[in-house]
């Protein structure tokens, strides 16, 4: 794969390809945007482009005979623009980067129990970056979930940012760029990644999965919030259906914890917000076309019948607070009992 195959991030990719075309590549970049929208994939394919042997060969007007046969030479010349700002995906360099064993490309991220990027990892990067590239044009470091650098790591990283080694590119990836040190943020060129619009994603999903009908593609697009990674990696519709079953069990059978072992309490509470959103919309407008879960119109209508709009909104706020406090070790069992009680009270199922 190459940059051209990444879906929905045309704007970010245009900026990156513009940098390559102008041969003005920032030493440090921050890829910012939600989880699951292609930041890491773009970073890897950008690193491939920077080090692609075909791009290099073309630019220097030299094609190594032992690397490519006549066919590939022809192919390269025919797609001049593409090879200049995108990787070929096939040369030894591209293949190594895809496999994660290129000596000049490093991908690091949080590790261990604390889920932090430790200072030892940054120091190791620093050491590796003190040498010139072994075989590529650039040394590239991709720091995934960069906001998880602990204080010591962030300070060490700041030193690297202040005196960037030549022929080196640092790419920070973060869905929470606000959690990075301002001094780190200000030294990086920010590239923003945005979720796909629903109509576009529906289109993409239908092209990818021929047996997916329009209604289901639309539902997946809406549920995933425009994050293609989520729509492709997870069985979102099944998760949603499970969450609704649990909600109904808790409402009707007075069981405090009806969760299956596949659903965490946090995950379930997130889904409940989606259902409450639909109930509130239906209560206020009586319009099924505005629902996220259009296919469950009947159930949403039934659930919202016995509640007032005010109570639905109040419940959404209360459950949001419970969700937030769970992070601070609020007792799970007590929280669920309380959630169950609140739901029955607000939704009129006494």
List interacting residues with Zn ion (CB under 5 A): 52, 54, 87-88, 91, 94
Phi-psi region of 166 (alpha: psi -120 to 50; beta: other; left: phi over 0): beta
CA dist., res. 180 & res. 189, Å (int): 14
**Nearest residue (CB) to Zn ion, 41 versus 119:** 41
CB atoms within 10 A of CB 279: 26
CA dist., res. 42 & res. 6, Å (int): 7
CA dist., res. 46 & res. 105, Å (int): 11
Contact 278, 291 (CB under 8 A): yes
Least distance from C-beta 52 to Zn ion, angstroms?
3
Residue 345: closest CA among 324, 315, 305: 315
**Nearest residue (CB) to Zn ion, 76 versus 335:** 76
Least distance from C-beta 286 to Zn ion, angstroms?
56
Least distance from C-beta 96 to Zn ion, angstroms?
10
Return the H-helix or E-strand segment holding 170: strand 168-174
Least distance from C-beta 40 to Zn ion, angstroms?
19
The SS3 call for residue 103 is coil
């Amino acid at each position: 794969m190459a940059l051209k195959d990444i879906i929905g991030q045309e704007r970010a990719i245009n900026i990156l390809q513009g940098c390559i075309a102008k041969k003005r590549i920032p030493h440090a970049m921050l890829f910012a945007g939600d989880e699951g929208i292609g930041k890491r994939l773009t970073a890897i394919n950008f690193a491939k482009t920077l080090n692609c042997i075909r791009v290099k060969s073309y630019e220097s007007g030299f094609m190594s005979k032992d690397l490519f046969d006549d066919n590939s030479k022809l192919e390269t010349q025919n797609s001049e623009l593409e090879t200049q700002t995108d990787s070929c995906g096939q040369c030894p360099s591209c293949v190594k980067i895809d496999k994660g064993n290129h000596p000049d490309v490093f991908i690091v991220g949080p590790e261990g129990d604390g889920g932090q990027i430790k200072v030892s990892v940054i120091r190791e990067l620093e050491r590796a970056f003190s040498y010139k590239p072994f075989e590529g044009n650039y040394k590239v470091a991709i720091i995934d979930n960069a906001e998880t650098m602990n204080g010591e790591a962030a300070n060490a990283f700041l030193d690297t940012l202040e005196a960037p080694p030549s022929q080196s590119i640092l790419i920070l990836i973060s869905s929470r760029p606000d959690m990075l040190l301002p001094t780190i943020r200000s030294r990086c060129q920010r590239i923003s990644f945005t979720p796909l619009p629903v109509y576009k994603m529906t289109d993409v999903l239908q092209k990818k999965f021929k047996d997916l009908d329009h209604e289901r593609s639309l539902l997946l697009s809406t549920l995933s919030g425009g994050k293609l990674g989520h729509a492709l990696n997870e069985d979102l519709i099944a998760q949603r259906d499970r969450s609704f079953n649990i909600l109904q069990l808790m409402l009707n059978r007075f069981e405090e914890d009806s969760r299956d072992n596949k659903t965490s309490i946090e995950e379930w509470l997130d889904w409940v917000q989606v259902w409450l959103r639909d109930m509130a919309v239906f209560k206020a407008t009586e319009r099924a076309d505005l629902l996220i879960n259009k296919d469950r119109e009947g159930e949403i209508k039934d659930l919202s019948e016995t509640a007032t709009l005010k109570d639905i909104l109040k419940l959404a706020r209360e459950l949001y607070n419970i969700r937030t406090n769970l992070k601070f070790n609020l007792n799970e069992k007590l929280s669920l009992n309380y959630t169950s009680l609140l739901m029955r009270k607000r939704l009129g199922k006494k």
